[in-house]
Amino acid sequence: MINNLYIMFPEIFLSLSIFFILMLGVFIKKSFNLIFNLTSLIIIITISIILTNPNNEERIFLESFIRDPFSNYFKILILLSTLFVLNSSKNFIIDNKLDKFEYPVIILLSILGMFFMVSSNDLILFYLGLELQSLSLYILASIDRDNLRSTESGVKYFVLSALSSGLLLYGCSLLYGFTGSTNFELIADQLNKDNTGAVFAMVFILVGLAFKVSAVPFHMWTPDVYEGAPTSITSFFAVVPKVAGLALLIKFMFVPFSNILLEWQTIIIFISIASMILGAIAAMIQKNFKRLLAYSSIGHIGYALAGVATGAITGYKSAIVYISIYVIMNIGAFSCLYLLKKDGQYKENISDLSGISKKNPLIAISLLIILFSLAGVPPLGGFFAKFYVFVAVLEKEMYALAIIGLITTVMSAFYYLKIIKTIYFDDSIITFEPTKNRTAQFSVIASCTILITFFLYPSILNNLVNTLFVS
């Protein structure tokens, strides 16, 4: 067994480096900058390890850990998005005195948890990964511990998430009880429709996962946590755990529950429709940009779940493409928030954006592109994300889901247009300071460039994702 440890080389490297930088942080004073830069370096090295290692499917530890193209794709997506999220928020972290050395270390720990989640082929490993990720996220949400809102959001997230983890664990034990195994493939062999207990277990597991991706009706924590947590944490929350959560949902549908797909599908269709509708309606009345992005992310998860709900490989692929483009758009949107600084304060109300097109035309045009893309207007990247999902949904002749999805697209266009209206049509109130935040600017520009030029070669992500489901 030991001689094929290379299979989990990225995870081993990541854990060792986490301990290393933790020690550095303990012994060196004022080490935030050093640790922060080391973290970026670690992320880059991990990416290169994953890319250089072979990509074929291999298992280790009694088949509980699996390395395949699917998990590698998600690992790289998680790492890349963390890299951008972290670096674009560096100035924000320092300005808000969040520059404790634990910050990047905890982020790396949560990534390690996600790595185990997407690579797990076993209920126990899956649960451990999930808990490692969640525990790190609780701390991150309340990292600004002198701030009432941040602490509140941390506690809120902790209580609700612990409840969902409990349900999830209950589901896992039920599943073990009814199938006699914790291995995903063995579970799949044991499961069929007559196994009512296992269907119960499936519901509990689904609740837990839906909570992690903040799908309706398990979304309650999202707006409060997004608003309360510091923006740098919110952007991490909005992007990275969603990717891991969606990967798990797909994995569960694909492997352990593939025989009871129909039961599982009905629930996901409901969750998807509910998320799309709630995301569209609730966002209309928001005044805080972060809160609005929270509701918008609920809606977007609804669209990704619509792809998952098809229960077909084309659907899963479209969901993966969707989440990838979602990541690009959200990194861009949050990075814009780091550029809106006035008297040392970062502004996060929509009304603060009023008329910035006159004084800060570049931020304005970037937000314009990102928001239209979030709304799914062609020819921007967001349109293609939706397009692929609806192609997959209509292949399965799920017309109602497609039409509801498209109508909520129009409804959600309304609130994105409202922000654009504030930016472009209203008179300017605040003159923002010219920022020197090069990394955030780079993230914004990179995100906009990808979104604009996506139509030139729209199948680039599809070609990547196609290789994930060869088996």
User: Both ends of the chain: CA-CA distance in Å?
Assistant: 24
Judged by DSSP in three states, 141 sits in helix
Note the residues at the interface with other proteins (CB under 8 A).
357, 368, 372, 377-379, 383, 387, 390-391, 394-395, 399, 402-403, 406-407, 409-410, 413-414, 417, 420-421, 424-425, 455, 458-459, 462-463
Among residues 19 and 425, whose Cβ is nearest to other proteins?
425
Among residues 160 and 452, whose Cβ is nearest to other proteins?
452
Question: Rounded to the nearest whole angstrom, what is the least distance from the CB of residue 354 to other proteins in the complex?
Answer: 13
Question: Rounded to the nearest whole angstrom, what is the least distance from the CB of residue 378 to other proteins in the complex?
Answer: 4
What is the 8-class DSSP label of residue 61?
A: T
Whether 152 contacts 144, CB under 8 Å:
no
Whether 98 contacts 232, CB under 8 Å:
yes
Judged by DSSP in three states, 122 sits in strand
Among residues 66 and 461, whose Cβ is nearest to other proteins?
461
Amino acid, single-letter form, for residue 346: Y
Question: Rounded to the nearest whole angstrom, what is the least distance from the CB of residue 445 to other proteins in the complex?
Answer: 14
Among residues 94 and 285, whose Cβ is nearest to other proteins?
285
Question: Rounded to the nearest whole angstrom, what is the least distance from the CB of residue 184 to other proteins in the complex?
Answer: 30
CB burial class (10 A; 0-12, 13-18, 19+) of residue 159? exposed
Residue that the structure tokens 């084309």 belong to = 314
Among residues 53 and 462, whose Cβ is nearest to other proteins?
462
Report residue 391 as tokens. Answer: 């192609």
DSSP string, 73-107: HHHHHHHHHHHHHHHHTHHHHHHTT---THHHHHH
Beta strands in 317-467 (DSSP E): 341-342, 345-346
How many angstroms separate the CA atoms of 110 and 97, rounded?
Answer: 22
Among residues 202 and 461, whose Cβ is nearest to other proteins?
461
What is the 8-class DSSP label of residue 4?
A: G
How many angstroms separate the CA atoms of 192 and 319, rounded?
Answer: 26
Cα dihedral 223, 227, 229, 234 sign: positive
Among residues 215 and 389, whose Cβ is nearest to other proteins?
389
Question: Rounded to the nearest whole angstrom, what is the least distance from the CB of residue 124 to other proteins in the complex?
Answer: 39
Three-point CA angle 224, 113, 264, nearest 5°? 70
Q: Within 10 A of 448 (CB to CB), how many other CB atoms are there?
A: 25
Among residues 186 and 391, whose Cβ is nearest to other proteins?
391
Question: Rounded to the nearest whole angstrom, what is the least distance from the CB of residue 405 to other proteins in the complex?
Answer: 9
Question: Rounded to the nearest whole angstrom, what is the least distance from the CB of residue 321 to other proteins in the complex?
Answer: 11
Whether 226 contacts 238, CB under 8 Å:
yes
How many angstroms separate the CA atoms of 107 and 143, rounded?
Answer: 11
Question: Rounded to the nearest whole angstrom, what is the least distance from the CB of residue 450 to other proteins in the complex?
Answer: 17
Among residues 189 and 395, whose Cβ is nearest to other proteins?
395
Among residues 255 and 312, whose Cβ is nearest to other proteins?
312
Question: Rounded to the nearest whole angstrom, what is the least distance from the CB of residue 414 to other proteins in the complex?
Answer: 6
Question: Rounded to the nearest whole angstrom, what is the least distance from the CB of residue 246 to other proteins in the complex?
Answer: 22
Report residue 80 as tokens. Answer: 């890349």
